[in-house]
Structure 1
Amino acid sequence: MTRIGRSDLDIRPLSLGGNVFGWTADRDTSFAVLDAFHTGGGNFIDTADGYSAWAPGNSGGESETIIGEWLASRRPENVVVATKVSTHPDFRGLSASNVRAAAEASLRRLGVDAIDLYYAHFDDPDTPLEETVGAFADLVSDGLVRYVAVSNYTADRIREWISLAQAAGADLPVAIQPHYNLVHRTQVESEIVPVAEEFGLSLVPYYALASGFLTGKYRTTDAAGESPRASGAAKLATPAGLAVIDVLDEIGRAHDASIASTALAWLRLQPTVAAPIASASRPEQVADLIASMSLELSADELARLGAVSAEAQG
């Protein structure tokens, strides 16, 4: 098991992304994905109140609702659920009143007494950070949230959050959720990781598979007719990006592992990372995610991947 930052949240080192639930995975398929993940030993689920308001016919909260229905149906033990605030169409931003209302709405959808890990999803320049920090602190003191976290914040703003929380005697964040993977490393490693190391925070990276590029599926920049996320993944199919895929493939074969499992294992083994986030739109995709949790790469293999991926940074 892995501990998230200074919290008592014990997790397996992979988080199942809930962004696809109610979008590219309907309710029944989402249940099948969640079943496969939990049966395989996974216990950490990531979602947000805004998932998936962007899909036609959706209004936000669909992912939380599906997860809540699955939790009520299956009653799994020791499952840790993380969600986020600031992107639901009815609860945009991080004002104190909005954070409180959004958290209460998320609790109703999830059907839980307290949110295990609650992220400020995106920084809100229109709300004083002191107000936001205080709002999160109140949620913890009132028992609605167990631990606080931040997502998509700069290093400077994370430090400012921590300073304000320390001054107020409030709970500090225990996790940071950045965009981090083999082809998107530079800023996280130079700016975010040092903050995490200094204050004992864990990274829970999203886009761990670069929108599917690090599965090896996309070998050309032409994504015509592919999935909703394909265009973003296909843009990475440059010579430098494909060189990363080739090394992942070679190392994966040595371990009888897929390209996706190997990419997730590399990320899992980076300093301060507690659990990469990866999603699955079909239950048969879950096995590769589960396999990544126990895949151990040698120092030489990590170095090879580090070197080839350095050439692919955009």
Structure 2
Amino acid sequence: MKYRTIGTGAGARRVSVLALGAMLFGTLTDEKTSFAVLDRYVEAGGNFIDTSDNYAFWVGGDVGGQSEALLGRWRRSRGVGDEVVIATKLGAAPLAPGTGYVDNAEGLSAKAVREAAERSRERLGVDRLDLLYAHIEDRTVPLAETVEAFGTLVAEGTVGLLGASNHAIWRVERARALAAAAGVPGYEVLQYQHSHLRPRFDMPSDLFEDGSLGHAGAELLSYLRAEPGLTLVAYSPLLAGAYTREDKPLPPDYDHPGTPARLAALREVAKETGASVNQVVLAWQIGGALPVIPLAGASSVAQLEENLAAVDLDLTEDQRARLDAAH
């Protein structure tokens, strides 16, 4: 396994360059399989696991929490401690079964942040959340209130690092500026969808008016170049299997003239290296110039093994240049 540092100062953590997504653990992925995947990931040196307080409300018919609860049971049964970094999110859990984050989310008020963080700590069985994200925006609450609420949790020692997911970049920057002005910790880890294929930004979206669906576009990547203390955790790097599975078509936001050229470049490099297309995508992210940590789920140990092999796949400068230039 290879590692990189996320965050700065006293809260900085050394994490594996491949994060494991636990979204469906405890729902679509049963406990036995989930435990086997987690065990193998840690055995391989992985130590960065991602969940959320609303995973997976759309499967379980509740408000979420199943993934966190499973991770708590796994931690206790295996004696896992601070050596494994578990990131979670709050703000997008529905307030009642049968509703969702669009019409009835818990939000990011000071009260909601504190109560949701406490519930996450209880489910995970930890005294401190290693990394806590604001999952989605809440424009009904003053940004300063949210910033202060997150900063207070860090000051109290119940949260380590802070992050934001699926926010407009100007909102991230404003929140970081407010935190700096108030002398409290700000967001240092950003979680957005990012893969080798480039999406369109004119598709309908529940999250953003501009249709970006939380994608890491040119603005976010430019922001990473300008702010070296930030790290991007890239969710859905393998597009839910769409690179390799015929039964998984590409999402509609990848239906544009640039996609075939980038797919062709991926397949060419995969053939040259003897790796799978999925492994090339992950290796491209891991070894790039920007601080990107792919976050890939796995519903079986076999899927995990394929992803883990990407960590040791070193692309040549020429291969990387061709992957970057394809459009």
TM over 0.5, yes or no? yes
Are 1:36 and 2:40 an aligned pair? Answer: yes
Aligned with residue 79 of structure 1, among 84, 90, 95? 84
Task: Please give the secondary structure, in 2, of the residue aligned with 1:55.
Answer: helix
CA contact (8 A) 1:49 1:83 kept: yes
Whether 1:24 and 2:32 are equivalent positions in the alignment is no
The 5 Å alignment of 1:8-157 reads 8-76=12-80, 78-90=83-95, 92-157=106-171
Using the TM superposition, give the Cα deviation of residue 252 of structure 1 relative to its aligned residue in structure 2, in angstroms.
Answer: 2.4
> Quick one: structure 1 residues 254 and 285, their matched pair in 2 at CA, closer, same or farther if it must change by over 3 Å?
same
Q: Match of 1:227? A: none
Q: Which residue is 2:298 aligned to?
A: 280
1:244 pairs with 243, 254, 262, which one? Answer: 262
Deviations 1:40-97 (CA, angstroms, capped at 9, x unpaired): 2211001110000001444310011111111111123511110000112236110000
- Aligned counterparts of 1:177 and 1:119: Cα–Cα separation in 2: 8
Contact 1:205 1:273 in 2 (8 A): no
From 175, 182, 185, the counterpart of 1:161? 175
- Counterpart CA distance in 2 for 1:56 and 1:140 is 31
Once the two structures are TM-superposed, the CA of residue 279 in structure 1 deviates from its matched residue by 0.4
In the alignment, the residues of structure 2 paired with residue 114 and residue 22 of structure 1 have an alpha-carbon distance, to the nearest angstrom, of 22
Which stretch of the first structure deviates more once superposed, 284-293 or 242-251? 242-251
CA distance in 2, matches of 1:190, 1:245: 19
1:251-270, aligned counterparts within 5 Å? 251-270=269-288
2-structure distance, mates of 1:111, 1:177: 24
Displacement of 1:188: 3.0
How big is the alpha-carbon RMSD for the aligned residues of Structure 1 and Structure 2?
Answer: 2.1
SS at match of 2:299: coil
**Which of residues 237, 258, 280 in structure 2 aligns to 1:208?**
237
Q: Deviations over 1:245-265 (max 9, x none)?
A: 443233223333221111111
Note the C-alpha offset of 1:240.
5.2
Tell me how many residue pairs correspond in the alignment: 298
Letter in 1 for 2:7: G
Structure 1 distance, partners of 2:106, 2:198, is 27
Q: Percent identity?
A: 37
1:181-192 matched pairs, under 5 angstroms: 181-184=195-198, 188-192=216-220
TM-score by length of 2: 0.85
Scaled by the length of structure 1, the TM-score of the pair is 0.88
Structure 2 CA distance for partners of 1:238 and 1:274, relative to 1, 3 Å: closer
Deviation at 1:32, TM superposition (A): 1.2
Matched, 1:195 2:233: no
After superposition, what is the alpha-carbon deviation per residue over 1:157-181, rounded to whole angstroms, capped at 9, x for unaligned? Answer: 1110011001100012111111111
Q: Distance in 1 between matches of 2:250 and 2:65?
A: 24
Is the Cα contact below 8 Å between 2:147 and 2:186 reproduced in 1? no
| Structure 2 unaligned residues grouped into runs of 5+ | 96-104, 201-214
Paired letter, 1:270: G
**Larger RCO: 1 or 2 (CA < 8 Å, sep 6+):** 1
Distance 2:85 2:112 in 1: 24
CA contact (8 A) 1:19 1:279 kept: yes
For 1:178, the aligned partner's letter is Y
Distance in 1 of aligned mates of 2:267 and 2:79: 38
SS in 1 for 2:190: strand
Structure 1 residue 242 displacement after superposition: 4.9
Deviation at 1:273, TM superposition (A): 2.6
* Inter-CA distance 190–88: structure 2 relative to 1 (3 Å threshold): same
